[in-house]
Every structure is written in C-alpha cells, then in structure tokens.
Amino acid sequence: MIDLHTHSTASDGSLSPRELARAGKAAGLDVMALTDHDCAKGVGEFLDECGAIGLTGVPGIELSAEVPQGQLHLVGLAFDPNDAALNARFAALLDGRAARNRAILQAFRDCGIPLAWEEVRAFAGDELVSRVHFAQALVAKGLAADVRDAFARFLGKGARCYRDRFRYSPADCIAMVHDAGGVAVMAHPLSLDPDPAALAPKIAALRDLGLDAMECFYSTYDVETTVALLRIARRLGLVPSVGSDFHGAPKPGIALGRLPVSRETESRLRALLRL
C-alpha cells in the first residue's frame, strides 16, 4: 500500500517524523511520503527511520498556492531535500507563516479574546506554528468545542480571526519542485472547486503548467467522487495519486493504510517517483 500525503510534528501533525514512519509500517504501508506544510525539516529524520524499518520513504512537502477562489494545495514529492534553491524558497514560505501568526494573534486581541503566544506555542513545541495550534489552544481554554469548531468560528478562511499569508503561484510551486528533481501532485482537488465539471478545466490548466499527478484516492472522498476524479485524471493524462492527509490527533478520523489502490495505479506511481 502507498500513502503519499501525511504530516508530522514538523508542521501540524501529532507524531514525530520517526513515529510517523513506524505508524506507517504498522499500518501495512510499503511506500510513504512525509508532506508537511511549507516545510521539509522532518524529511531527513523520516527517511532515516524508513530505511531502518524497511519502509520506502519519499521526501515531500505540501504547498499552498495562490489562487483567486478556493484552495489549491500541491504536494511536491521525490525532490532533492538538500537542494539549496528549493530550501531558500521554503524559507520564504516560513517567513510568511510567521508574519501571518503575528497577525492572527493580534486579531484575537482586537476581538477581546485572551490568547497568549505562549499558549499557542505550547502545542507546537519547537516546530512550525500553524492554525491548528491556535485551534488547540482555543479548545484548551474552553473557547471552542473542538478543532473543527475553532476553525469554523475563528480560523477558517473568511472567519473573523483568519489572516492570509504569502504564497507562491501555482506555476512557481510546480517549477520549483521540478527544478529540484521532484514531481508535483494536486492534493484533495475538491478544495479548489467542489464541482467536478467546473474543476476539470482548472486541473487542465495546471496540467499545462507541468502538473504530474492528482489525488484521486483521498481519505474523505466517497467512491463516486473518486471515480469522477479518476475520469478527469485519465482524460488529462495525469497519474492518479493516493493520500490520506494523516495528521494524527488533530484529525482523529483519518487513519493510515486505509486507501488500497490497484496494481496498475501503484505501478504508475512507483514509475513516476522512480522507485
């Protein structure tokens, strides 16, 4: 089995990169990618553990691209994690996240909501601080019922304490992954547009920019959605990908090793990733 979309404590997951690798092995995975948000900090540790336990590890990252409507997340896979130019681009994204975090904290203060940076930081440890950590702090203070509620009322796009951040264009995201020897995959496509008919031309435009694959098998997609996405991928010549978007505790309903794919799909993914 293959899972090419997971998160660790290097961004907003609850398992360390090494713990994540071991969890993937225990779940029966053969190939697994670590794709933290805007950050490849945990990739080295993850790959080391994968090698030690006999799991094929793939370096990855999840990038949020700038689009006028919806949300476009692109997963970069099988790139050189030591590529200097790529890591410089990643560093700019982390600077943008830091600026956004300061703006969110100020937004809570402006709303009269008592939330201290130390309370948010405590949920991230020494790693990247994301909106999930703000949500967890709100839950701990009794200001939200759970993470989902915190996003709905405070942190989701359009909510009163949401603040935007710097993102690269889709073309830049795809090019920088390719330049480092990797492949670009569209993550959870319905986030860009929930209507498959309207989504197809948008994916075609990304294909023309160099998109290699798209997630057709995703933890929250039903059979009908998966089939519709497979048809789009086939029509556009894109490799269908598989990703759970596992985070651990922040998304307790999502598990590793629950998305089996056909031998043909697995073979195409292995060829794309040069495994």
User: Distance between CA atoms of 220 and 186, rounded to whole angstroms?
Assistant: 15
Do 40 and 65 share a domain, yes or no?
Answer: yes
CATH code (residue 111): 1.10.150
Whether 45 maps to a domain, the answer reads yes
Integer Cα distance of 60 and 77 in angstroms:
4
Q: How far apart are CA 140 and CA 261, in angstroms?
A: 39
Q: What does the pLDDT average to over 21-45? A: 96
Residues 80 and 17 in one domain: yes
Identify the domain boundary among 155, 181, 205.
Answer: 155
Helices (H), 141-184: 147-150, 170-179
19 shares a domain with 86: yes
Same domain, 185 and 85: yes
**8 Å CB contact between 27 and 257:** yes
Q: Are 77 and 58 within 8 A, CB to CB?
A: yes
Under a CB-based contact definition with an 8 Å cutoff, are residues 144 and 154 in contact?
Answer: yes
C-alpha to C-alpha distance for 175 and 184, rounded to whole angstroms: 9
Helix (H) or strand (E) holding 56: strand 56-65
- Same domain membership, residue 14 and residue 102: no
pLDDT, position 248: 93
As given in the structure block, the two tokens for residue 61 are: 């990252």
214 and 113, same structural domain?
no
Residue 162 domain flag: no
Q: Domains in the chain: how many in total?
A: 2
Most confident listed range (93-97, 110-114, 231-235)? 231-235
CATH number (domain holding residue 77): 3.20.20.140
Q: What is the extent of the structural domain holding 33?
A: 2-90+169-272
Q: How many whole angstroms separate alpha carbon 143 and alpha carbon 136?
A: 10
Which pLDDT belongs to residue 252? Answer: 87
pLDDT number for residue 123: 87
In the predicted model, is pLDDT for residue 127 greater than 90? no
223 pLDDT more than 90: yes
pLDDT for res 126: 66
**CA torsion, points 199, 273, 6, 265, in degrees to nearest 10?**
60
Task: Count the neighbouring beta carbons within 10 Å of the beta carbon of residue 30.
Answer: 16
Are residues 10 and 44 both part of a single domain?
Answer: yes
What is the rounded distance in angstroms from the CA atom of residue 185 to the CA atom of residue 114? 39
Note the pLDDT of residue 117: 93
Residues 83 and 213 in one domain: yes
Per-residue pLDDT tens digits for 2-29: 999 999 999 889 999 999 999 999 999 9
Residue 234's contacts (CB-CB under 8 Å, 6 or more residues apart) are none
Task: Note whether 43 and 150 are same-domain residues.
Answer: no
